[in-house]
């Protein structure tokens, strides 16, 4: 019997491929650009917030290390030794070097570990020499070695005045921990300015801020008063920088991000001078 041959099924016509039109492509690109524009500031803000939290952790670590230092040194407070002019204050080493090496155990080939350098710190003066930009008024080889400074009122060598005020008998040899009336309301460590004469120092001269018509303007020349809020430049009107946020640690061991107006108003209302710390 002859095989039954079925007629071949006709092939379906191929569907034409549909490409994006120019308008559709432009719409897609516009949407992507809009999403990027929305997300980038959010991501940038999240990254800055994360860096601020690491910085806050650093300054608190340094404060906790200082508690151990106090116990080993009869509750005498640690001292600074890096001047903004490059002149040391004695034979002791800078406060952050002692804490980083002896109490945090973090010293690396380039300095004293991440605990002494804030991730918010973009100073051009980081070294060691010959790397980094020279610091104004400092020896040619001096570079920035810490992001953090010590409150001069808690330093036995550079303390400007004691409990009785400017007329107190000289020399005042500084506070011991148990002589500070309100440790939880007395700033100990703070961020340093990233540029200028104080970029290589381990302390600021807070007493000079009180007498300036705009204390926050003078402060930003020595300290990083706006590093957390992300605006270290600030306004130049009568309220310059009062709302700018920075990280501070306190003598009792806690740390906080505070506006400048929360830490200093004037010589009688501030969190630096132990006799007026509110």
In tens, the pLDDT along 110-154 reads 667 778 999 999 999 998 889 999 998 888 888 999 999 999 999
| Mean pLDDT for the stretch of residues 39-53 | 77
Q: Which residue has the higher pLDDT, 162 or 233?
A: 162
Residue 262 has pLDDT above 50, yes or no: yes
Q: Which residue has the higher pLDDT, 171 or 266?
A: 266
Average pLDDT, the chain: 84
Please tell me the predicted confidence (pLDDT) of residue 235.
42
| Mean pLDDT for the stretch of residues 27-47 | 75
Report how far apart, in Å, the C-alpha atoms of 192 and of each of 22, 195, 217 are. 54, 9, 14
pLDDT tens figures, 10-22: 565 556 666 667 7
pLDDT tens figures, 201-215: 999 999 999 988 889
| Mean pLDDT for the stretch of residues 168-186 | 87
Q: Which residue has the higher pLDDT, 196 or 87?
A: 196
Please tell me the predicted confidence (pLDDT) of residue 115.
85
Report how far apart, in Å, the C-alpha atoms of 75 and of each of 34, 71, 157 are. 58, 6, 16
Residue 79 has pLDDT above 90, yes or no: yes
For the ranges 22-26, 183-187, 210-214, 216-220, the one whose mean pLDDT is highest: 183-187
Q: Which residue has the higher pLDDT, 30 or 238?
A: 30
The number of angstroms, rounded, from the C-alpha of 65 to the middle of its chain's C-alpha atoms is 18
pLDDT band at 233 (very low <50, low <70, confident <90, very high): very low
Report how far apart, in Å, the C-alpha atoms of 107 and of each of 80, 115, 120, 130 are. 18, 9, 20, 20
| Mean pLDDT for the stretch of residues 66-93 | 86
Please tell me the predicted confidence (pLDDT) of residue 87.
66
Please tell me the predicted confidence (pLDDT) of residue 3.
59
C-alpha–C-alpha distance, residues 222 and 204, integer Å: 6
pLDDT band at 175 (very low <50, low <70, confident <90, very high): very high
pTM: 0.81
C-alpha–C-alpha distance, residues 197 and 137, integer Å: 6
C-alpha–C-alpha distance, residues 98 and 250, integer Å: 18
Q: Where are the domains of the chain?
A: 24-270
Report how far apart, in Å, the C-alpha atoms of 102 and of each of 97, 107, 227, 276 are. 8, 9, 28, 32
Residue 168 has pLDDT above 90, yes or no: no
């Amino acid at each position: 019997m002859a095989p039954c041959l079925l007629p071949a099924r006709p092939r379906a016509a191929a569907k034409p491929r549909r490409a994006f039109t120019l308008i559709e492509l432009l719409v897609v690109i516009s949407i992507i650009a809009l999403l990027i524009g929305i997300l980038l500031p959010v991501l940038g803000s999240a990254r800055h917030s994360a860096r601020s939290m690491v910085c806050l952790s650093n300054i608190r670590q340094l404060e906790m290390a200082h508690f151990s230092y106090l116990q080993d040194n009869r509750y005498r407070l640690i001292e600074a030794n890096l001047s903004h002019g490059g002149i040391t204050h004695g034979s002791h080493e800078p406060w952050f070097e002692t804490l980083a090496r002896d109490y945090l155990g973090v010293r690396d080939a380039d300095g004293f570990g991440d605990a002494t350098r804030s991730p918010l710190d973009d100073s051009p003066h980081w070294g060691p020499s010959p790397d980094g930009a020279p610091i104004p008024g400092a020896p040619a080889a001096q570079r920035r070695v810490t992001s953090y400074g010590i409150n001069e009122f808690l330093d036995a060598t550079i303390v400007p005045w004691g409990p009785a005020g400017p007329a107190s008998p000289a020399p005042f040899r500084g506070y011991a921990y148990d002589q500070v009336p309100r440790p939880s309301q007395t700033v100990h460590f703070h961020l340093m300015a990233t540029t200028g004469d104080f970029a290589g120092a381990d302390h600021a001269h807070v007493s000079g801020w009180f007498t300036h018509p705009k204390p926050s303007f003078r402060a930003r020349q020595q300290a990083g008063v706006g590093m957390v809020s992300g605006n270290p430049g600030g306004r130049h009107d009568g309220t310059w920088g009062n709302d700018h946020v920075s990280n501070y640690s306190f003598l009792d061991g806690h740390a906080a991000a505070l506006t400048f107006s929360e830490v200093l108003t004037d010589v009688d209302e501030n969190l630096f001078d132990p006799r007026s710390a509110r």
